[in-house]
């Protein structure tokens, strides 16, 4: 499998308190038809933090089954508990995922050595390719480039990183210090194109839930050397990028998919529906940009 381009951090449709399998399969199929390069179930956008382990395994299995090998699947399987991360990784492996996404342990705030040991243990006990996920806005911990570079050198299963600091200087230092071939995905839709320009490989994207074609075309245009087209799409996406974060992710993007008729707009506590005034703003932005 090739890990480059636009990967969608999939939402998880719920209905009557359970995963809406039909809506999930239809969403995955639409994503592939629209030209998405890969799929990432059970991440932050997929509300994995509100799901049981059994549900996470089910969501990953459905995604792999529906993808049918047409695009790679990177399954969210991280935890702040190393044993739990091992267990979730085993579930992802059994479901047939191509790789996993492993968040830096949140709340615990491990030292750089603690991060290294966490990922070493994961690799030893549940070996399969994985991407480290650095998102300090969610975890309270910013894994520095030298720490990630050390993990990349000492843990053979780590093949890349989802870098969600939004800090291009840090991203540049990261790419400079990591081994050749280490895959760097943007975890911030605002910075996908700038990151591509300094050696990044693509995005694990929120906005591609509603605009998969645009995000995949932007990444493809840049790879083909058509920087003018890539820049044009970047600015076309910016209003949508802003709209996806008018409240906590995944509230706006899931609401958008509901407005598009792709799923029932249903969340799990502590995630709650969009405020009415923001729902009106979102609807107007989606209309103005041809999404609905």
What count of Cα atoms within 13 Å lies in the side-chain half-sphere of residue 68? 6
Which one of 133, 222, 254, 262 is the catalytic residue?
Answer: 133
| Residue 133 among the catalytic residues | yes
Helix 251-259 to helix 276-288 angle (10° resolution) is 60
45 is an annotated ligand-binding site residue = yes
Q: What tokens appear for 287 in the block?
A: 């209309």
Q: What tokens appear for 43 in the block?
A: 């991440």
Q: What tokens appear for 226 in the block?
A: 């058509």
Q: Say which DSSP state 48 is in.
A: G
| Residue 162 among the catalytic residues | yes
60 is an annotated ligand-binding site residue = no
Q: Are strands 14-15 and 18-19 parallel, antiparallel or unpaired?
A: antiparallel
Distances (CA, A) of 284 to 113, 263, 272, 290: 48, 19, 21, 10
Which one of 83, 93, 162, 262 is the catalytic residue?
Answer: 162
Main-chain dihedrals φ then ψ at residue 248, nearest 5 degrees: -55, 130
Let me know if 49 is exposed, middle or buried by CB neighbors in 10 A (0-12, 13-18, 19+): middle
Let me know if 238 is exposed, middle or buried by CB neighbors in 10 A (0-12, 13-18, 19+): middle
Separation of alpha carbons 245 and 186, rounded Å: 16
Separation of alpha carbons 159 and 156, rounded Å: 8
Q: Are strands 38-40 and 74-76 parallel, antiparallel or unpaired?
A: unpaired
Q: Which residues contact 30 (CB under 8 A, 6 or more apart)?
A: 212, 262
Residues noted as catalytic? 133, 162
Annotated binding site for pyruvate: 45, 204
Annotated binding site: 45, 204
């Amino acid at each position: 499998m090739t890990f480059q381009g636009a990967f969608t951090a999939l939402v998880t449709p719920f209905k009557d308190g359970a995963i809406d399998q039909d809506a999930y399969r239809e969403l995955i199929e639409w994503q592939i038809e629209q030209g998405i390069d890969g799929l990432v179930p059970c991440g932050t956008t997929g509300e994995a933090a509100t799901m049981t382990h059994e549900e996470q395994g089910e969501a990953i299995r459905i995604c792999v089954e529906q993808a049918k090998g047409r695009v790679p699947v990177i399954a969210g399987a991280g935890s702040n508990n190393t044993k739990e991360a091992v267990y979730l990784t085993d579930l992802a492996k059994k479901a047939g995922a191509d790789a996993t996404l492993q968040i830096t342990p949140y709340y615990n705030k491990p030292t750089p050595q603690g991060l290294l040991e966490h990922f070493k243990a994961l690799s030893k006990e549940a070996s399969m390719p994985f991407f480290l996920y650095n998102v300090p806005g969610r975890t309270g911990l910013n894994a520095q480039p030298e720490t990630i570079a050390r993990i990349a050198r000492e843990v053979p299963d780590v093949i890349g990183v989802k870098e969600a600091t939004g800090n291009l200087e840090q991203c540049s230092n990261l790419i400079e210090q990591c081994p050749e071939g280490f895959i760097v995905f943007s975890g911030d839709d605002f910075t996908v194109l700038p990151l591509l320009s300094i050696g990044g490989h693509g995005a694990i994207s929120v906005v591609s839930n509603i605009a998969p074609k645009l995000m995949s075309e932007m990444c493809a245009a840049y790879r083909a050397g058509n920087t003018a087209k890539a820049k044009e799409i970047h600015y076309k996406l910016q209003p949508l990028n802003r709209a996806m974060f008018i409240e906590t992710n995944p509230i706006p993007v899931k609401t958008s998919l509901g407005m598009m008729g792709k799923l029932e707009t249903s969340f799990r506590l502590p995630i709650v529906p969009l405020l009415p005034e923001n729902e009106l703003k979102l609807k107007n932005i989606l209309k103005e940009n041809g999404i609905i």
